[in-house]
Structure formats: C-alpha cells, structure tokens
C-alpha cells in the first residue's frame, strides 16, 4: 500500500490511480424529465421557502457525531437530501421523514465509509471525512462529485485534517483517513474562506482533544446554522459567523433538535423571477439579511424591494437596468445566485459585467441562454452581458441546479415555449419549485 503522508503527495497519487466502482449496490436513479415553460406571464403573489439544502445536508452529517435520535425540522424535500439519507443509511443510521421533519437515529458504531455511487453525486458528502474521523478514528470516502464547476480541490480540507493529526492514504480514488494518536487541536489558517473546508475542520474539531482555531474561516449563514446545532449537541464553539472560529473539543456529544435555517437561494431565485417578469412577489419565512447584497443589486437593476423581519417583496421593472456585480464569499454576492442574475441582465437596457470569483468554470448555462437569443460572452472570469430586447424559447440543457433555475427564469420572459432538459437538476436543489412558481402565475409543467 502506498502510504500518503501529505495532502500534496496525496493529490499527485490520485492522478495516476484507477478508480473502480464501489461495492455499494443500491442504485440511485435520476428522474428523466424536462420542464416546459411558456413565457409572457408576470409573476404575482406570495411564496414561502423551506430550510436551506446547503444547511440541511451538513446538519444531517453532523448527526453522526452522537449516537441516538436526532430531530431536524424545516428540512426540504429534494433529491440531494434523499441522497444524503442513503449515505447515512449506508453508514448504519436510520432516517425517517414526516413531511419536512426528519428523524435520524445514529448507531453506537457507525460504518466508517461512504459509497462511491452516492458520494460522486454530491459534493457535500466530503464532510463525512472529518465527521467519521472524529467519531470512529477512521474514515473511507470516495472523492466527491456534484455539479461540474471546474476544479474545486479539497486541499484545504486535507491540510486542516492533517494539522489535527490525520494520516491520509489514497487507493482507487478513495480517501482513507486515520488518526493513530487521536485528533488534536491545531491553529489552522485557510488560504481561502472555503465553506466546505471550514465545516469539515469544525466537524472534526468538536471531538478533538484541545482547542482548534480556524483563521480566515467562512462566514456563511449555513455554517453558522451548523455551529448552532453542534452547540445544541454540547459542542463548545466561539466565533461562528466571523473570520476566526475557535473550537474547544469535548469528550462526547448528544442528540438534539434543530430547525434548519431558511434557504436564501430559493428565496433569491423567486426574487430574480419577479424582477425578470416585471412581477410582484412576496417571499415569506426567509431572512432578508442573508440576501443583503443580492437584493441590493436587484434594486440597482430597477426593482423595488421592501423588507420585513422574515419576508421581502420584489416588484420588477418593465426592463432591468444594466449593473455590474462580482461573486464573493458571504456577505458578498453568492455564486449560486450568479446564473439567475445574469438571466435577469440578459434583457437589461445596456451592457452589464459579472465577475465570477468563486467557481471559475461555472459558465455552461451561458451557451444555453445565448441559444435563446441572449448576447453574452466571457473573458476569463468576466461575463459581458449585452442586454437584448427579447428572448425566444427553444430547447436548452439545464446543466446544473442554478443554471437550470436561470433558464426557467429566462423562459418565463421569453417569447414562445422553452424546454429545459434535465428537470432532476431543479429537483436536487428545490422543494416543489414547479408547484410554487405555477402558483405565482407561471406557465410551467413537467413533460
């Protein structure tokens, strides 16, 4: 066996090792459906959002840190959550759902591995690595998949775990981690405020011996939500939501109950749809402060936005104004709202420039928007959007979760019929998207 003693050598080994399929046998199928959108309707009415997918997945992984029954509420019913339930079942946990309530019962001795067939579909599953390492002293996890946004290395995850005493090994595309002397606290500084790396280190640190400090930590609301749940389980965490997080390891945690933070991306998608269609939509059960930059940019584009403690409303302009924006870690403009905003700007009365600073290859949807008549070109990480008078419906490929949502938004404004192939992408990230957007007046259906 080739022993890997550093993250750098691990990555070199990974390039040359074949990756056979896992022995895990349960098939996971994707719904082969398309969405048919007829343009022309201005959205109007009220819509409520559920818990954030990107928070729920991390909370589900966190349950593995303590044996017993955990209760999560406000959990969205989407495909990624179902895949994570299958991951937990493989580890030995039991998942029972009742509407938006999810009960996870964790065994005393979870299986320290996650299967390739499931991990390759969802990047959040890499968090199993730090969690199982902390709980069982070892972990076997296939390299993660998910939406293809170009190179998204896990160097920061691996370097942080190594600093805490983990020994890493790679064989056949599967990461094997052990902690021969147990995990211990460490001072870790991230080169980039990666959400996933901050979460993985946090999950490992709560049961490590001593104190772990994470510098240049991510500040996203979903990470703060994870820290809140871990604290409810008995963890000692200071500074979550700031750039420096301090974790004091404890010997054990216990199950708790937690309500998932509202999904700012679902709320933001409805806001963009209202702006795109010159509609008037009120979004409830949300936290407007989590969309501060996105709503501010919609206002700059000509939309009227009103805000309350747990709601906001957007009234879209007849035609958006051109604006510039750049994606950045929270509290900056969220990369997962970039495609929806570019869709809105595709019909603006002038030229806009968007800069993608998080996922450099997140541009597959642009060619599909151009098929609908948009005039968008890229220059490095910059996107130049020359607003056109009208879009026209056609068949397009919903290449990822937010790209598919952006194409749906474009189809609501376009002349004629737009068919978005790959409805399963919407199903991965949204609970009841078609039903909710239809209730607002859109003409959209599955075919």
Positions marked catalytic: 147
Q: What are phi and psi of 186, to 5 degrees?
A: -155, 155
Query: Strands, E, within 226-331: which ranges?
Result: 236-238, 244-248, 257-259, 280-284, 304-307, 311-315, 324-326
3-class secondary structure per residue, 242-255 = ECEEEEECCCCCCC
Beta-carbon contacts of 364 under 8 Å, excluding residues fewer than 6 positions away, are 148, 397, 399, 400, 403
Of 267, 273, 265, which is closest to residue 412 (Cα–Cα)? Answer: 273
- The CA distances from residue 313 to 47, 340, 408, in Å, are 10, 17, 20
Contact 173, 17 (CB under 8 A): yes
Q: What are phi and psi of 281, to 5 degrees?
A: -130, 135
| DSSP category for residue 327 | B
135-174 burial code (b ≥16 CB/10 A, e <16): bbbbbbbbbbbbbebeebebebbbbbbbbbbbbbbbeebb
**Total residues belonging to the chain:** 447
**Containing H/E element for 354?**
strand 351-355
CA distance 346 to 72: 39
Beta-carbon contacts of 289 under 8 Å, excluding residues fewer than 6 positions away, are none
Of 332, 85, 58, 60, which is closest to residue 192 (Cα–Cα)? Answer: 332
Beta-carbon contacts of 333 under 8 Å, excluding residues fewer than 6 positions away, are 293, 294, 297, 325, 326, 327, 341
Grouping H, G, I as helix, E, B as strand and the rest as coil, residue 305 is strand
Of 318, 268, 326, which is closest to residue 298 (Cα–Cα)? Answer: 268
């Amino acid at each position: 066996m080739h022993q890997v003693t550093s993250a750098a050598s691990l990555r070199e080994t990974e390039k040359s090792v074949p990756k056979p399929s896992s022995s895990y046998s349960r098939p996971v199928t994707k719904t082969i459906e398309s969405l048919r959108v007829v343009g022309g309707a201005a959205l109007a009415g009220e819509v409520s959002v559920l818990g954030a997918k990107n928070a729920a997945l991390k909370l589900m992984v966190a349950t593995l840190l303590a044996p017993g029954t955990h209760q999560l509420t406000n959990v969205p019913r989407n495909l990624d959550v179902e895949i994570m339930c299958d991951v937990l079942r493989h580890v030995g946990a039991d998942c029972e759902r009742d509407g938006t309530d999810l009960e996870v019962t964790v065994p005393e001795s979870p299986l320290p591995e996650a299967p390739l067939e499931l991990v390759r579909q969802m990047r959040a599953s890499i968090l199993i690595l730090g969690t199982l390492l902390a709980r069982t002293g070892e972990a076997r996890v296939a390299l993660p998949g998910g939406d293809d946004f170009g190179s998204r290395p896990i160097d920061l995850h691996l370097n942080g775990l190594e600093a805490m005493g983990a020994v890493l090994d790679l064989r056949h595309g599967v990461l094997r981690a052990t902690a021969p002397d147990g995990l211990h606290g460490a001072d870790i500084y991230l080169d980039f405020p990666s959400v996933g790396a901050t979460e993985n280190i946090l999950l490992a640190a709560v049961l490590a011996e001593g104190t772990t400090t994470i510098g240049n930590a991510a500040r996203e609301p979903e990470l703060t939500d994870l820290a809140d749940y871990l604290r409810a389980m008995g963890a000692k965490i200071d500074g979550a939501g700031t750039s420096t997080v301090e974790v004091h390891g404890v010997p054990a945690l216990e199950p708790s109950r937690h309500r998932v933070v509202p999904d700012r991306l679902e709320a933001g998608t409805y806001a963009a749809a209202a702006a795109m269609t010159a509609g008037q939509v009120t979004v409830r059960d949300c936290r407007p402060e989590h969309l501060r930059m996105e709503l501010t940019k919609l206002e700059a584009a000509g939309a009227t936005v009103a805000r309350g403690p747990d709601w906001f409303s957007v009234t879209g302009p007849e035609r958006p104004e051109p604006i510039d924006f750049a994606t950045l870690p929270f509290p900056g403009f969220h990369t997962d709202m970039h495609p929806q905003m570019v869709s809105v700007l595709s019909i603006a009365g002038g030229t806009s420039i968007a800069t993608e600073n998080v996922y450099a290859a997140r541009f597959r949807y642009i060619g599909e928007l151009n098929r609908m008549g948009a005039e968008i070109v890229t220059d490095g990480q910059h996107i130049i959007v020359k607003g056109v008078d009208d879009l026209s419906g056609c068949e397009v490929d919903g290449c990822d979760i937010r790209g598919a949502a952006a194409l749906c938004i474009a189809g609501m404004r376009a002349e004629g019929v737009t068919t978005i192939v790959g409805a399963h992408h919407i199903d991965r990230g949204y609970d009841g998207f078609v039903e909710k957007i239809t209730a607002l007046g859109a003409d959209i259906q599955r075919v």
